[in-house]
Structure 1
Amino acid sequence: MALKSMGLTVLSVFALLYAQTINGFTVELIHPNSLSNPNRNPSNSQFHWIRQAYNHTRSRAASIQSSLGGGGSAKFKTDIESYGGGYAMKYSLGTPPFEIYGIADTGSDVTWTQCEPCINCFSQSLPLFDPKHSKSYKTVSCDSDACTLVKSNGGPGAGECSGENVCQYQLTYGDNTQSIGDVATDTLTIGGASFKNVVFGCGHKNRATSYGNATHNATGVVGLGYSNGSIVTQLDKDFGGKFAYCLSSQPDSKSHISFGKDAIVNGTGAVSTPFDAGPYNSTLYYLSLESISIGNQSIPFKKSVSSNVGGRRAGIKKTSANGNIVIDSGTGVTIIPPNEFDNLKSELTKQIPATPIDDPQGQYSLCYSTIDKIEVPKIVAHFSGADVELSPRGSYIEVEEGISCFTIIPDIGFETFIFGSLSVVDYLIGYDLEAQTVTFKSTDCSKY
């Protein structure tokens, strides 16, 4: 769900692993289908999360396209609770620290959470953050740098002013989920390290769309996007513009995210590709996907038009101006252009000696019976300067009892393409905002 007004998107929930120093630390991420994930409704089936991942991806593509001025559709709706494909992170706000859960998301910039007094909020099982109980909480005035930061992220309602001279934010998502509240600063604690005066959104009026009988347990978002409002850029002096995550495909296995010096990805097998901020939305990380190969057969992709956007830091030479797909930790499923998908599907059916079957819910386009015990051919995404073999454990998943489907789906008119987290499970993925690169390294994330 990319944001229409501030370019924010939803972050998942973090759980603490350990902390080293402020300049380098690692925390745990919780799989969306893990029993320990507060976002998960215990009454849902084991397949609910992958169904929600499909809905969420469609909604997110429409929302990104809308934020780029391309309209988009609200046909595909998903609850803010589900965060299909999103991994959960625990952090704390305030003095004394108050624990909060939110989606760890590279498609979002400003972090936000539901706050007391809640004039109109969606229900959540966890307590709401109450600013009155934090000694370090401060609202932001309309003429402050923090309010200007919100305004610079654009959109209606961004950086507006209340009658009490408090800077306001308004986030509108592609599925009509909305958060409205005060722009504020407070102490942010992650992995045992604390950072003062971090800008975030304190939501007093929040709305989540209805999808089934889900229970809303999440409290908001942690933004890892490229723009100046994200925690990565706000804490640039501490993090050095570096973070990395390693996502396990198994719900009962631990995943992790690292910041600062712990987030340097190198060594044997590491491959890097430049990212671009895109022609309009500086929050997102655009990569140049040149082709996808199935076995020895290559499927080329069209390159995007150069955005001519300079580097985020002065003096940093831009390494690439192309980008045709967004890499997004908050979206599970990969979505590609329809023509390329048809070619991919055709090649897969040729190389897999089994008969495809229909998805009973009509979501996923290429499925097989688990009885066939198919062997998935090697699928490699060829980015500019980096060949990334997709993990079979993430690209081919059971969506119903006895039915497994490929988690790559075709775009249906949004013209926004997303490289989702399921395609790169068991990869250590490092972002370097200074060098403007994303680095991939095959890793057993359950042991990272």
Structure 2
Amino acid sequence: MKYSIGTPPFETYGIADTGSDVTWTQCEPCTDCFPQSLPVFDPKHSKSYKTASCDSDACALVGSSAGECSNRNVCQYQLTYGDNSQSVGDVATDTLTIGDSSFKNVVFGCGHQNSVTFSGNVSGIVGLGNSNISIVKQLDKDVGGKFAYCLSSQPDSKSHISFGKDAIVKGTGAVSTPFDINPEQSTFYYLSLESISVGDQSFPLKQSVSSNVGGRRAGIKKTSANGNIIIDSGTTLTMVPSDTFESLKSELTKQIPKTPIDDPQGQFGLCYSTSDKIEVPKIVAHFSGTDLELSPRGSFLEVEEGISCFTIIPGSISIFGNLSEVDYLVGYDLKA
């Protein structure tokens, strides 16, 4: 996601991540940083940059991600992600510019020690989760809890993200499903995925991730369904319980008239040679109140030249990843 930080605006890119909250970018002086092809943000060149003191509201907003107070009384943050990526640095405020709109005093992380598994034109993360430090919540009076993105499956086509009144998904074919929040993990958007079907065969998912998922905020209607899968734009693959995955794999091998081959990366559960075109059967995610047919371009991915693999894998946590979201405009309304 392209955005700018500072005055004058310094343009950079971050991974738009609905599965985390804190927005951070690599900052000079970069004592231990990953290589990035873009210039690194230098806070000395921004007139509006301020570090947050340890007793400030900005420091309190970081919450459980706060690290120790520095000897200069600067609030620190410390983040570790599921793939073991890490970022440590100063909590700060500065002007954030998205598109033509600028927002003053946005709390973010100025990362001085960072190690990540991603690469490319990226300087950090844009946190779009549900807790108060996220960009969506910090800009609430301007964007009203709404954002939407369209992830392209084509490498030569741009993806798009929008906020506020431009982020309303409507029209023919638009469908919706409620999300749940676990009060103990307020970052995550839990959906209720009842089953996944391949062709006319349907395979259920267990309905509840834990007894306390589904505590909804005031003003949002409680549904009978508790969430059992996290929708996460920052995770590539979709993960489901192993019994559900094995059922999907078995059915796919029946419906795809080709012989599976070994996964060269040891990460995927079902792969085929692409020497002949794979005819992907219709795969539908059946959410609470709606059905979503997954894009064939996101369901199988060419992981190496000539080898294509199924992008749903078994996992200990159920996650609806970004490849299952491609080719759709996916909207979030935190106040629906």
Match of 2:173 among 259, 262, 269: 269
CA distance in 2, matches of 1:373, 1:367: 13
Matched, 1:121 2:22: no
Give the conservation status (yes or no) of the 8 Å contact 2:260–2:272: yes
Gaps of 5+ in 2: none
Aligned to 1:417: 318
Over residues 260-309 of structure 1, what are the superposed CA-to-partner deviations in whole Å (9 max), with x where a residue is unaligned?
00101122211111111235311111111100111111101111144255
Gaps of 5+ in 1: 1-88, 436-448
Aligned to 1:229: 133
Helix, strand or coil at the partner of 1:380: strand
Aligned to 1:16: none
Higher mean C-alpha deviation, range 345-354 or range 357-366:
357-366
- Give the alignment's Cα RMSD to 1 decimal: 1.9
CA distance in 2, matches of 1:399, 1:203: 31
Aligned to 2:190: 286
TM-score normalised per structure 1: 0.71
Helix, strand or coil at the partner of 2:185: coil
**One-letter identity of the residue aligned with 2:324:** S
CA distance in 2, matches of 1:407, 1:297: 19
Change (3 A) 1:208 1:380: closer
CA distance in 1, matches of 2:37, 2:173: 43
CA distance in 1, matches of 2:216, 2:224: 10
Aligned to 1:112: 24
Give the conservation status (yes or no) of the 8 Å contact 1:150–1:159: no
Over residues 127-177 of structure 1, what are the superposed CA-to-partner deviations in whole Å (9 max), with x where a residue is unaligned?
2111111111111122211111112xx25xx15322222211111234443
Over residues 413-445 of structure 1, what are the superposed CA-to-partner deviations in whole Å (9 max), with x where a residue is unaligned?
xx211111111211111000112xxxxxxxxxx
**One-letter identity of the residue aligned with 1:190:** I
Matched, 1:136 2:40: no
Aligned to 2:335: 434
Helix, strand or coil at the partner of 2:249: helix
Helix, strand or coil at the partner of 2:186: coil
CA distance in 1, matches of 2:48, 2:224: 41
How many percent of aligned residue pairs carry the same amino acid?
A: 79
Change (3 A) 1:371 1:410: same
What are the residue-to-residue correspondences of 1:29-108 with 2, within 5 Å? 89-108=1-20
Aligned to 1:180: 88
**One-letter identity of the residue aligned with 1:397:** L
Aligned to 2:58: 146
Give the conservation status (yes or no) of the 8 Å contact 1:349–1:356: yes
Match of 2:228 among 312, 324, 327: 324
Aligned to 2:76: 168
Helix, strand or coil at the partner of 1:404: strand
Give the conservation status (yes or no) of the 8 Å contact 2:182–2:215: no
Matched, 1:248 2:156: no
Change (3 A) 1:216 1:370: closer
CA distance in 2, matches of 1:230, 1:134: 22
CA distance in 2, matches of 1:215, 1:394: 21
Helix, strand or coil at the partner of 2:275: helix
1:376 Cα deviation (Å)? 1.3
CA distance in 2, matches of 1:371, 1:279: 49
TM-score normalised per structure 2: 0.94
Give the conservation status (yes or no) of the 8 Å contact 1:285–1:326: yes
What are the residue-to-residue correspondences of 1:388-399 with 2, within 5 Å? 388-399=292-303
Aligned to 2:255: 351
Helix, strand or coil at the partner of 1:273: coil
Matched, 1:311 2:311: no
Give the conservation status (yes or no) of the 8 Å contact 1:148–1:159: no
Give the conservation status (yes or no) of the 8 Å contact 1:142–1:159: no
CA distance in 2, matches of 1:203, 1:282: 23
1:352 Cα deviation (Å)? 1.8
Change (3 A) 1:269 1:188: same
Change (3 A) 1:190 1:320: farther
Aligned to 2:281: 377
